[in-house]
Amino acid sequence: MNAQVTPSPVVRARGLRKVYKNKIALDGTSFEIPAGRIVGLIGPNGAGKTTALKAMLGLIPFDGEMSVLGRDPRSQRDELMQDVCFIADVAVLPRWIRVKEAIEFVAGVHPRFDMARCERFLAGTQLKPNLRVREMSKGMIVQLHLALVMAIDAKLLVLDEPTLGLDILYRKQFYQRLLEDYFDEDKTIIVTTHQVEEIEHILTDVLFIRDGRISLDASMDTLGDRYAEVLVDSAHIEAARALQPIDERALPFGKTVMLFEGVPVERLAQFGETRTPGLADLFVATMKGTYA
């Protein structure tokens, strides 16, 4: 019987370090991203998210070891970018550019751009070839960005705050279309965002980054085994605190929500209703030590 071969990680980072003048952006950061996953890289402003992405894309020099799709982004960037698609904030398209010009530009710079696929997506929208960005609604701009992304058959898609400045309707539309029309087991998506709760349902894995270091590296499936919230009434507060919650917040009517790590749910159930914490609550608690 042949042993099952574990595929190599799409991204492998070891001891990444990057310093801007007197600011440490990455401080010995290490992580791996498996193939066929949707990974949220989440952290507060200045935590090192964008620097980590720039290192993956070969846009900055850095110390340490980095392999992306088996290549070193510092010395093999041209080859690497044939298999990578990078999209930042959707609001950055020049307002003067026409739909056809945006498509022609991306088709000219990315070897894996599929014009027919792009046109099939655009056929279901109100976008016309001569329409300029300044004449579009925000929803139409999202559709144009999606058409450009989905036409690129890249192994790795990197999204840095892709829906910044859009309202909730268009943010949800962007992620849903990405999930339904683009993602498959041969692709890997890395996304940074501040709207944690909006991407929680599409993520397979999460990386929390704080002060240039990874503070949480977990699959979404394992968070329920590792963390639990309990709605504790006033009569059980001291007993629950004896189990050393990592965070707590007060609610009206004498209730308190406590967050625990590594404590069996069966043991916590005696204090009140238990549940798996939402990613946003977990982020706030682990980043700041408080929900307040």
List pLDDT tens digits, range 245-292: 998 888 887 789 999 999 999 999 999 999 999 998 898 888 864 333
Q: How far apart are CA 257 and CA 233, in angstroms?
A: 9
Per cent of the chain over pLDDT 90 is 48
Domains of the chain: 11-211 (3.40.50.300), 223-288 (3.30.70)
pTM for this prediction: 0.86
Q: What distance in Å separates the CA atoms of residue 142 and residue 136, rounded to the nearest whole number?
A: 10
Contact 97, 106 (CB under 8 A): no
The per-residue pLDDT for 264 is 92
Asked if residue 229 has pLDDT above 80, the reply is yes
Give the integer Cα–Cα distance in Å for 85 and 91. Answer: 17
Residue 256's contacts (CB-CB under 8 Å, 6 or more residues apart) are 231, 232, 233, 234, 237, 240, 248, 249, 250
Read off the pLDDT of residues 1-15 as tens digits, 9 standing for 90 and up: 454 555 689 999 999
Rounded-to-integer distance, Cα 202 and Cα 207, Å? 14
* Contact between 96 and 132 (Cβ < 8 Å): yes
| pLDDT at residue 91 in the model | 59
Residue 200 CA: distances (Å) to CA of 99, 125, 162, 249, 250: 31, 27, 15, 22, 24
The C-alpha atoms of residue 160 and residue 205 are separated, in whole angstroms, by 16
In whole angstroms, give the CA distance from residue 25 to residue 43: 12
> Does residue 165 carry a pLDDT above 80?
no
User: Of 115 and 194, which is predicted with more confidence?
Assistant: 115
pLDDT at 89: 64
